[in-house]
Amino acid sequence: MIPDRLVLATANPGKGRELRELVAGWGPVVVAGLDAFAGVELPDERGGSYAENAVAKATAAARATGLPALGDDSGLEVEALGGAPGLRSSRYADSDAERIAKLLAALRDVPEALRAARFVCVVAAVFPDGRVATAEGVCHGRIAAVPAGRAGFGYDPVFVPEGFDRTLAEVGAEAKQRLSHRARAVRSLGERLQHGPAGV
């Protein structure tokens, strides 16, 4: 069952905006951000998997607010870098610009044909009574030689989705909501909540 109210277990404004828009696809859910609650602290992303991190964040938010919570963790996995930055994507450097610069420097001598990558996202819904549901979404693509586009956040300006010749930061919000890793994960979770056992 999809909850009537939900709190987003993220302090990232870009993720928060995307999650609000995607959860709207579930129906009339009242979505609150962490800024509506004082003193909620989320754990550091130190788990051994995206799912572990997503569940930990959602669990912390659900316990602190008494509401069902939606957490997510995601990463960029680059084939030529052995799957890096992966779980460390948000900690690869101190800012989006620095992360992109570091990534492009690491791929400087890698030809376009070998720049395959994928975005992975796991979202977790945790209910105050302890019930948990998770779902994963993956978006395949490649890393561009230079950043392009002003929309999106994170690595979007250098990630070209499969079947496109523009980056996620260029394709527009409507296209991104169809094909991104986060969009796919949230859609899958919504279907699981809608059709699964009561509450899960």
Amino acid of residue 128: P
Confidence of residue 200 (pLDDT cuts 50, 70, 90): low
Can you read off the two tokens belonging to residue 83?
């799957």
pLDDT > 90? residue 45: no
Reference 188, options 152, 139, 151; nearest CA is 139
pLDDT at 81 over 60: yes
pLDDT in tens, 84-138: 999 999 999 999 999 999 999 999 999 999 999 999 999 999 999 999 999 999 9
User: Mind listing the pLDDT tens digit for each residue in 46-57?
Assistant: 889 999 999 999
HSE-up (13 A, CA, CB side) for residue 9: 32
Q: Which is higher by pLDDT, 185 or 195?
A: 185
Q: Are the beta carbons of 183 and 176 closer than 8 angstroms?
A: yes
Catalytic residue among 4, 35, 44, 73: 73
Respond yes or no: is residue 73 known to be catalytic. yes
CATH of domain 5-195: 3.90.950.10
- Is 168 within 8 Å of 149 (Cβ atoms)? yes
Q: Is 131 helix (H, G, I), strand (E, B) or coil?
A: coil
Backbone angles phi, psi at 70, to 5 degrees: -115, 115
- Both tokens of 31, joined, read 């979505």
Domains of the chain: which residue ranges? 5-195
Rounded to two decimals, what is the model's pTM?
Answer: 0.91
